[in-house]
């Protein structure tokens, strides 16, 4: 369990450094086709359906690699 937490922490630090150096590197997050956006005069509703599916698939692959 400790190795998984260290690995996740390392990945988050790496993502943070990449985001700091290249701010537009993750601009696709939240702007994928299939994400539901609804704007009206006073409200804004946003459901990042496809983005969450992609993140879930990536997390599943990474966690399966750590468990083997």
Q: How far is CA 35 from the centre of its chain?
A: 13
Give CA separation, 30 vs 8, 39, 40, 61, in Å. Answer: 21, 15, 19, 20
pLDDT level of residue 14 (50, 70, 90 thresholds): very high
Amino acid 57: pLDDT:
94
Domain total in the chain: 1
Q: Does 39 map to a domain? A: yes
Question: Is the residue at 61 inside a domain?
Answer: yes
* In a domain? residue 8: no
Report if residue 41 sits inside a domain.
yes
Question: Tens digit of pLDDT for each residue in 24-61?
Answer: 877 777 778 888 888 999 999 988 888 889 889 988 99
């Amino acid at each position: 369990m400790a190795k998984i937490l260290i690995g996740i922490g390392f990945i988050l630090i790496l993502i943070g450094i990449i985001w700091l150096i290249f701010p537009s590197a993750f601009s696709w997050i939240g702007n994928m086709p299939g994400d539901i956006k609804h704007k009206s005069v006073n409200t804004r509703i946003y459901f990042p359906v496809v983005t969450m599916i992609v993140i879930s698939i990536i997390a599943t692959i990474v966690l399966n690699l750590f468990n083997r």
